[in-house]
Structures are given as C-alpha cells and as structure tokens.
Chain A
C-alpha cells in the first residue's frame, strides 16, 4: 500500500489489518511514555487547505507518537491565499523532502490527483477531499464499532451489525466512506435524511434508506451515527430551518429514550449540540463519541506505520 486515498481502494484484508494494528497502537497510547521509534527520521507534512482542528491534531499526535517529524501547512496565512496553485505547493513541499503528505482539501479528488501526478513521490493520505471521502474517519469508526460490540481482541469483520447514518448524506464524505467501508466489512447500512440531502438515484451506498427518522430508528439498528448539519444548508433550500430539522431529524432526548439501552450513538464531530444531537444523548453512556476520538489517534498511527515504516 503506497497511499491511502479512498475506502473504495482498500481490500477487506487491508482494512481489517489496519483495525488490528490500531488496537496494538492503542496499547502504546495508554503507556506512560507514548512513543514508538518506528518513523524516526521521517518527515510527515500536514497539508490542510481547509479548516480542521481535530483531524489535523489527530494526525499530528499520531505521527509524533511514531517519532516522525511533523510540519503543518494550513492554507490560511500560507502562499495558497496569495494564489499559489496546488501543484506548486506540492512541488515545494516535495523539494523540501517529505515522506508523507496528509491532505485535506475542499475539492473532491485532490488526494488522488496528487498521488497520480508527477508533482510528488511522497505517500499521500487523504484526510478528507471535498464531498468525496474521508477514509481514516471510516476506519476509526469501524474500529470503534468493532471494539464496542465485539471487544478489542476480536479480529473479525462486522457481519450482522446494523448501522444507521443520519444527516447530510449528500455532502458528507464521512457518510460515503463509512457506508462503503462498513458494507465492505459485512455490516448493513441504512441512510436517513430529507430527500434533498440524499442522492437522487437509489443509493449505491446503502442497503436501506429512510426519509423519516422515527421509522428508521424502529428498524433495530445497533449503531446510530449522527452527522453534523452545516448552517449553509438552511440557506439553499436543502432544509427549511433549524427547528424543523431538529424536530424531524435530530436525535433528541425523547427519541433517545425510546431506543433500546444497547443502541450505540456516534458522531464524527464537531457536534451541533441541540441541533442534530441533544447534549444528553452525546454525553450518555451509550455514546461512543469520545472513544471515536481516542481511536482516531491509534488508527492514524496504524495508517502511518503501514505506509511509511516498511519502506527502506
């Protein structure tokens, strides 16, 4: 594996291997000295053309725990805001000598374009490209689901597990990557959103889709994953308004109370508490939200290790 560009490229075996390796990395993360020498002397560049705090920090901590040098490039305040092209930015970093480029960009396909280009030979990790994919998020979510339902020593797939994803499916790279990966690993995936935020054609990504959240929640899902709803969707006729969205598609306290006690709740963050998810739900014992963040570091260590540790 030279790059991690999309879940679609990953085989089942490669995916499970990353989950298993991430569980090994978790053991390092609870030690007093949380550092392995694996990537000592290698340089990893965080190339973020779009705002992100948690993903960038998660990758940075992951790389540092493997002893890599980390440089961060954020588009704001960099040469990109003065109009430098993607090509020249990548060539510049390449010329400085980096082994991996962790790329986030608002345009779909950017990680793939960099990986296919003559601009760079570095390993490329897609940290979110437009509305396309966010593969490490999907992997960390799969890891979180497997650990929660089967235990952290389990090495099997997700066969038989039912996951419901609720929210802005149309614009969500998290939804795409999750649906692709979870189904690849044997889970059943349901999608739920207003019709304006679902793909028009019968979704290539889901086993079930719902236009009504209550109907979806009665369909016995093991995991309910809520997605962040962007303010801007309110202004472009995708949605009518916050109140209605919260009433119809939010995981409110009253909806939550009707769920079985074993139903797990996830959210990739950052959350709009009170909009798509009630505070009480996010902070409940059934919430895996903190666990997702913890697993994010371990999973990203596994990815960096697989891409960078084995080569010369």
Chain B
C-alpha cells in the first residue's frame, strides 16, 4: 500500500503536526526520513478522525434509482466520512441475515467507506413481530444497532421486548420517535404556520412522549437506547432528564435540524419536506445547545435520497427526506463553530469518535493517534462556499442549494487509502493494494 505524509496539519486540540500513514495505519506524528511516500501539504487544514454517520439511507436494495451503496459511499467519502450505518428500510427490508450480509458485502465492494448495516427491529418494519435480531447480529454483518427508522416502534410492549432481547449481545435500539396516532397525515411542524398553510401538524409532543416512554423502558430493562433525529426542545428536555438519572440513552441531531427552520415551508417547496419536520427557531437553538453540552451526543445525517418524481409534485404527495452527506460537516461548522457554540475537539467527538462508539465500530473514530487506522479527513476551515447542484448522490433533493456554508473537505483517507483529493472523489485503484 502507498504511504503518505500529511505535512503540517492542525489537530482538533490546536497543535500542528505531520502525519505518517503506512499500510493503512498512522505510524508516526512526525515526518522522519521516510522514503517513497506521497507528501500532501496540509498546512492550514484541520486533520480529524474520519466522520462516522449513524443514520444513512443508501436505498439499495430496492430503490437504486435514488441511490446505490456505491453512489452513497462516494457521497459519504466526499463529505469526509469513512463509515456509514445503512438504515434498514430498503426493499426488501433488512430484517434478516441475508439482506444485511448483502449490504455489508456491497459496501466492501464499493470500498469508499465502511458500510455497517442497521437491522430492522420488527419484521418488514410492520411493528408487529420482532425481526431476526440475533441472526443479524451473528451474521457476517455483525449488526449491533437495530432500527425501524422511517417508522416508530410504537407498541410499548414490543419496544420493551426489543430492548430486552438485544441485551444478549449488547445491542442498541435506535428509535424513530413519532407517535403515529398524534401524527396521522401530518405534513409539517404543528404551530401557527401549519395552520396558516393548511397543512396537518406534526406536534412536538408526538416525539417527546415516545422518547419519555422509551427512556423509562430503557431504565427498567437496563438496555441501550439511541434516539434518532431529535428535533424539538421538549425532546431535549426529556433526554437531559434521562441522562441525569443515569439511563443509558444516546441521541443524534441531523445537520438540517441544526440550521433550517419551518419558515422554509411557506412556499410549499417540497425539498424542505422531511420527517421529523423542520421546527422553529426555538427548537433549533435548543438542539444546538444540547449538542454543545452533550445532551445530544452526535450529528447523524439522515441522508435520504429521493428521485425527482418524488419531489416534483404537490406537497402532500411528496416524499419526506433530504440528502445530506456531502454538506453535513459544513453545516455543523456553520451552525456550531462559526457561532462559537463548540470547539474542534467537540466537533471531532460528535462527527467521529462518539458515533463510532455508539455503532460499535472498532476501527473507526480513533482520531489522529499513532497506531490508529488511517481514517482521516483533512478539511479547510477557512473556505466559505455557496452550495451548488452537484453531487455524487444519484438524487438531487439538497435543501442547502444556494446557501453559504463554511469549511470544505479537501482530502479523505479510508484505511490508509485516499478516497478524496482536493475535494474530488477518486476512482479506487484496487490493483495497487
């Protein structure tokens, strides 16, 4: 394997260092007389552990027109990720060992990031019977996180059983918290604006009430809960309470809930239709503060590609979701670092080390340290750019088009192999391995 020397990079703690990569591993933090290595000038660039996304929709199998594991992996690499967790709501659903192994293998074939399948909690995401949780865990894909994401495990007893069942192998249930009866036909955040626009509301209580129930079930069962895409102030309050009580709960926030608000729905522009919906400014400030103070543990993209025909239509008929892998880091920098709400050390934690820990990915999130796998992102924090309609994703439902964001991914290394150079995704040349 090719060796690299990254010259004069800045680490999250502010120190400047050279980074030597040999055989896929960081072998030194000073450039010795190393021969035969490509030298990359990293002066002015931040060097951080490769990002880990706990919440990615790669759409394969079943919706290859929207995304494939290869196209989604490339989009992830371009966004500075070295690992993604693929959600289970594919077709067929990833509710058995065969599907999760297929996704796992396609991820290895693609080779841009580590693709870790998430397994469904219930068969066919129907919320009625548990899926083959144990067989998915013991499969080659070694599934450790289970989620019906897109749907809520709303039945209380089934949720309790799932939490109990996965204790045998240290699994985590990642809940899409949405009370289905409180959100029947819901189209956007409930409030004055939803009333004015005549769109059925998705009330904050429909999220917080499920999270409140789930943290109590988690306490009772002694299991592990992860809360997907926290979007409201009320949910933040519940999680803060649960953590103070010592309950084993972690939580994520998406980039879009850190920066976009419901006002964007005013023109019925379907690119802003997402579930959970965009909320108010008060909610955005609450999730930002929660991410800064640790109540919310991580950022996860909820990258949700959709083909044009699912968005070029009336609001009610449009699909929920937005793509987000490529701009995620810039959104977090713009929302959290430009505003001085967090520093680079916390940024590395929420984007890399903590999601790796929740996902149980041993080779990820180890930061820039001697002996760590060379999963590294080099980003330029000084660049501001306007988001244009260009993507490695097969889909174009990008809500940030035209926005000005800070921080650009320059170079990415996945297990010591360069996947992105000067912002461009490289074709992987496996013959040189």
Taking Cβ atoms with an 8 Å cutoff, the residues of B that contact A are 187, 190-192, 195-201, 267-269, 309, 312-317
Measured between C-beta atoms, what is the minimum distance from A22 to chain B in Å? Answer: 25
Are B312 and A130 in contact (CB-based, < 8 A)?
no
9-residue interface stretch from A60-68, A102-110, A225-233 = A102-110
Are B192 and A201 in contact (CB-based, < 8 A)?
yes
How many interface residues does A have (CB within 8 Å)? 28
Are A176 and B267 in contact (CB-based, < 8 A)?
no
Are B196 and A130 in contact (CB-based, < 8 A)?
no
A182-213 contact mask (Cβ, 8 Å, vs B): 1 or 0 = 00000000000000000111011100000000
Are B195 and A108 in contact (CB-based, < 8 A)?
no
> Which residue of A107, A199, A200, A203 contacts B314 across the interface (Cβ within 8 Å)?
A107
Contacts of A105 in B (CB 8 A): 314
Contacts of A130 in B (CB 8 A): 198-199, 316
A66-104 contact mask (Cβ, 8 Å, vs B): 1 or 0 = 000000000000000000011100000000000000000
What would 12 more interface pairs be, CB under 8 Å, given A87-B313, A132-B197, A176-B196? A85-B317, A107-B315, A108-B315, A108-B316, A109-B199, A112-B267, A113-B314, A117-B312, A129-B198, A130-B316, A132-B199, A173-B198
A108 to B199, CA, bound (A): 6
Are A204 and B198 in contact (CB-based, < 8 A)?
no
- The reply on A170 being an interface residue by CB < 8 A is yes
- Given A112-B267, A116-B267, are A107 and B195 neighbors across the interface (CB < 8 Å)? no
Closest to B316 in A: A107
A109 to B191, CA, bound (A): 17
Closest to A169 in B: B195
A297 to B315, CA, bound (A): 30
Taking Cβ atoms with an 8 Å cutoff, the residues of A that contact B are 8, 85-87, 105-110, 112-113, 116-117, 129-133, 170, 173, 176, 199-201, 203-205
Measured between C-beta atoms, what is the minimum distance from B266 to chain A in Å? Answer: 10
Task: Name the residue in B187, B268, B269 with the highest tally of chain A Cβ atoms < 10 Å from its Cβ.
Answer: B268
- Given A109-B268, A200-B190, are A86 and B314 neighbors across the interface (CB < 8 Å)? yes
Measured between C-beta atoms, what is the minimum distance from B271 to chain A in Å? Answer: 12
Contacts of A199 in B (CB 8 A): 192, 195
Contacts of B269 in A (CB 8 A): 116
Are A109 and B313 in contact (CB-based, < 8 A)?
no
A selection of 14 A-B contacts at a CB cut-off of 8 Å is: A107-B317, A108-B197, A109-B198, A110-B315, A112-B267, A129-B198, A130-B198, A130-B199, A132-B197, A133-B198, A173-B198, A176-B198, A201-B192, A203-B195
Measured between C-beta atoms, what is the minimum distance from B381 to chain A in Å? Answer: 37
Measured between C-beta atoms, what is the minimum distance from A149 to chain B in Å? Answer: 28
Closest to B187 in A: A108
A175 to B196, CA, bound (A): 11
> Which residue of B190, B200, B201, B313 contacts A86 across the interface (Cβ within 8 Å)?
B313
Measured between C-beta atoms, what is the minimum distance from B247 to chain A in Å? Answer: 30
Contacts of A86 in B (CB 8 A): 313-314, 317
Measured between C-beta atoms, what is the minimum distance from B194 to chain A in Å? Answer: 8
Are B267 and A204 in contact (CB-based, < 8 A)?
no
A108 to B390, CA, bound (A): 31
Measured between C-beta atoms, what is the minimum distance from A202 to chain B in Å? Answer: 8
Are B192 and A113 in contact (CB-based, < 8 A)?
no
Measured between C-beta atoms, what is the minimum distance from A238 to chain B in Å? Answer: 12
Contacts of B201 in A (CB 8 A): 200
A201 to B191, CA, bound (A): 6
Closest 10 CB pairs of A and B: A132-B198, A109-B268, A107-B316, A108-B198, A131-B198, A199-B195, A109-B315, A107-B314, A204-B192, A110-B314
- Given A112-B267, A113-B268, A116-B267, are A204 and B196 neighbors across the interface (CB < 8 Å)? yes
Measured between C-beta atoms, what is the minimum distance from B313 to chain A in Å? Answer: 6
A108 to B192, CA, bound (A): 15
Task: Name the residue in B197, B201, B314 with the highest tally of chain A Cβ atoms < 10 Å from its Cβ.
Answer: B314
Task: Name the residue in A109, A131, A176 with the highest tally of chain B Cβ atoms < 10 Å from its Cβ.
Answer: A109
Contacts of A205 in B (CB 8 A): 195-196
Measured between C-beta atoms, what is the minimum distance from A136 to chain B in Å? Answer: 16
- Given A85-B309, A109-B268, A112-B267, are A204 and B317 neighbors across the interface (CB < 8 Å)? no
Measured between C-beta atoms, what is the minimum distance from A133 to chain B in Å? Answer: 7
A87 to B269, CA, bound (A): 15
Closest to B193 in A: A204
Contacts of B195 in A (CB 8 A): 170, 176, 199-201, 203-205
A305 to B200, CA, bound (A): 34
Closest to A107 in B: B316
Closest to B196 in A: A204
Contacts of B190 in A (CB 8 A): 200
Task: Name the residue in B198, B267, B316, B317 with the highest tally of chain A Cβ atoms < 10 Å from its Cβ.
Answer: B198
A117 to B311, CA, bound (A): 12
Closest to B270 in A: A113
A221 to B118, CA, bound (A): 61
Measured between C-beta atoms, what is the minimum distance from A32 to chain B in Å? Answer: 42
A210 to B268, CA, bound (A): 31
